Structure 1
Amino acid sequence: MAAKFVISKDARGEFRFVLKAGNGEVIATSEGYTAKASAMGGIDAVRTAAASAEVVDES
């Protein structure tokens, strides 16, 4: 199963998204957005940035 973004509305009425791995584990959580379109923009930003993100090992 592929990873997926899930959008929901929280108790404050804000839209949030999580990125779930294929096994259902949440691997990223967004901030709250007042508009659903803004949450979709956040998803697009993650998709764009993740493709070229470098890995920094701080261990």
Structure 2
Amino acid sequence: MYFTLYKDAFAQWRWNLKAANHHIVADSAESYHNKSDAISGINLVRGTSGSTPIYE
């Protein structure tokens, strides 16, 4: 899996997470004015682990 970081049509930063088959499995769902904020969002997703709860 890998992240892509890009600017959208409104020149704001977004990211998505792609599987090995290049299909998107997660995205930022919001845009960021600053690239550093988008990277912080990526790092939040990277930091999740098996201890992250799952709610139904």
TM-score (norm 1): 0.81
Greater per-residue helix proportion: 1
Q: Does 1:6 align with 2:28?
A: no
In structure 1, runs of 5+ residues without a counterpart are none
Aligned length: 54
CA distance in 1, matches of 2:15, 2:23: 13
State, as a whole percentage, how many aligned pairs show the same letter. 39
Match of 2:44 in 1: 45
- TM-score for both structures, normalised by structure 2: 0.85
Cα distance per residue 1:9-58 (max 9 Å; x no partner): 0011110000000110100010100000100000011111x2132334x4
CA RMSD of aligned residues (A): 1.1
Letter of the structure 1 residue corresponding to residue 12 of structure 2? E
